[in-house]
Amino acid sequence: MSLTRAVAWNTAIQVVGRLVGLAVSVALTAILTRHLGLADYGQFVAASGYVALFTVLGDAGIYLVAVRRAAQEPERRAELLGTALGLRLVLAFVPLLLAFVLVQFVPTQRFPTYALTLRLVVAILAVNGYITLLNQFLTAVFRLHLRMDLAVIGEMLARLVTLAVIGLVVLLHAGLVAAAAAFTAGTLANFIYAWNVGRRFETFRPQLDRRLSGEMLRESVVMTAVTLLGLLHFKVDTLLLWALRPPLDVGIYGVAYKAHEVLVTFPGLFVGLLFPVFSRLAREDPMRLRQVFQRTFDVLVTTSLGAALLVFVLAPDLAALLGGAAASRPMRILAFALPPVFVSLGFTHLLLAESRQRWLVPFYLVLVAANVGGNLVAIQRWSYMGAAGVTVATEGLAVVLLAGYWVQRRRMPLGPRSLLAVPLAAGLAALGAAIFAAVPPAAGVPALVARLAVGGTLALGLYAAGVLVLGILPASTLRSLWPGAEADRSSTAPPDGPAGGL
């Protein structure tokens, strides 16, 4: 199988898995907001965002270093993966323990009812974060072998286990602590599956070779800073809402952010799958890398506009389904942040593959500073609406900075044809929102689901038809992704996996 076929298949299977995951995630959010109430759900969202920051510190950049080096040095793969696993087991523990210790100092006057509960939730989510980091390492094995279909099975297993346990939480009338435990049970099920399946592809054991550990840690320092600053950039709005506004506002924003949070995982799947390819081509074939990245850019632009169109049109019904009708307005605002997030992910992964991560540190420092400053003002005045607006502004700033870097360096000229999808998506969004507003609102969950299914199918169908008719995506890109197309003549398949170009 050529690299094109392999990437297309792995991306498609991940998209299918994430669509199932999206359905389960929507169901979980709808169940939790109704069972816990928006205020308690806001506490859960805030605790999750807090633990996520320490989870990134636990990663310490080891994952990206291990994937890049394993792709570039396949003959040392067992040694590299074993050392990475040893580092992961040690380094992940301390930050997550620190997360639990620091939360003991949360002022009880702010959380008089849930002070003890909040601490227990953070402790359980810290355990969940530790297991998640081990799962991420095992996912690297599937990624290196382009067998993400197996990783998707594990993710779906985790979702289904979580959903089943959440059902028990509701039946037993349990609260926040039990809900956190349900998510941890799903993560643990995924780890048990991934460990047993991943060992069939790579034979390695945890080790801490001093020389190699030192090399990987030196490489990972900058990546850790980049990843942490990137997560701060994404999570600072929720954390500041938690600090400055009532839990109800955090719950509403958590519902609004759910669609955004789920959809941005799709470009992450795509560029994450291509990261080993970027890493290898950056070293071996820069000209081929230009072709791969142009097609990556085109796909990211067109799919991001389709995602934004979908959220903007369906926001009122989606917010109602999730149990927070007030979230529809911030959800529509956040839709405008999706295109810059998608495109920025492509640029930043390429920079990491080319070992240009040092430039990303000041880049994210600027974004975090703008995010914190903007949110401190906007949240005080406009609450979750202000947070949504600042998210759009800072994601736009990210694209402007990356584009400026690209122009200044005059690195890989990018064809702008895919940008023609902007007016197409904008016109369909205005039309779709007007039609949905004119139709009487749905009553009951089944009717809401039916409206979302019909409306989403029509919106995406019209958008896809427009992209095809106008030829916005290059014909070569569409042919290369078609299963019956001729294999890429330039691709080869060494024993350790496919190679070539997209």
Q: How far, CA to CA in Å, does 112 sit from each of 109, 115, 263?
A: 5, 6, 35
- CA-nearest of 309, 303, 13, 282 to 147 is 13
Percent of the chain whose predicted confidence (pLDDT) is above 70? 87
Residue at 184: amino acid letter: T
Rounded Cα gap, residues 361 and 184, in angstroms? 32
Give pLDDT tens digits for 400-413.
Answer: 888 888 777 656 67
With b for 16 or more beta-carbon neighbours within 10 A and e for fewer, the 246-273 pattern comes to: ebbbbbbbbbbbbbbebbbebbebbbbb
- CA-nearest of 262, 230, 443 to 348 is 230
Q: How confident is the model at residue 499 (pLDDT cuts 50, 70, 90)?
A: very low
Residue at 361: amino acid letter: V
**Residue 185 reports pLDDT greater than 90:** yes
> How large is the average pLDDT for residues 288-293?
82
Give pLDDT tens digits for 322-336.
Answer: 888 899 999 999 999
In 181-257, which ranges are E strands? none
Neighbours of 354 (CB within 10 A): 17
Predicted pLDDT of residue 292: 81
The region that residue 344 occupies, defined by phi over 0 for left and psi between -120 and 50 for alpha, beta otherwise, is alpha
Rounded Cα gap, residues 478 and 476, in angstroms? 5
Q: How confident is the model at residue 262 (pLDDT cuts 50, 70, 90)?
A: confident
**Residue 73 reports pLDDT greater than 60:** yes
Q: Where are the domains of the chain?
A: 1-220, 245-481
Rounded Cα gap, residues 200 and 273, in angstroms? 20
The token duo for 421 is: 């999808």
Rounded Cα gap, residues 459 and 308, in angstroms? 11
Predicted pLDDT of residue 491: 37
Most confident of 71-80, 109-118, 135-144, 363-372: 363-372
**Residue 502 reports pLDDT greater than 60:** no
Predicted pLDDT of residue 501: 32
Give pLDDT tens digits for 402-457.
Answer: 888 877 765 667 778 888 899 999 999 999 888 888 877 767 778 888 888 888 89
Rounded Cα gap, residues 256 and 261, in angstroms? 9
Q: How confident is the model at residue 128 (pLDDT cuts 50, 70, 90)?
A: very high
CA dihedral 190, 191, 197, 199 (to 10 degrees): 170
Rounded Cα gap, residues 245 and 242, in angstroms? 6
Rounded Cα gap, residues 22 and 291, in angstroms? 32
Predicted pLDDT of residue 9: 65
Distance of CA 136 to the CA centre of its chain: 13
Predicted pLDDT of residue 498: 31
Burial label, 480 (beta-carbon count in 10 A; 0-12, 13-18, 19+)? buried
The token duo for 472 is: 């916005």
Selected residue with higher pLDDT from 64 and 314: 314
Q: How confident is the model at residue 240 (pLDDT cuts 50, 70, 90)?
A: confident
**Residue 159 reports pLDDT greater than 80:** yes
Residue at 282: amino acid letter: A
The token duo for 137 is: 């390492």
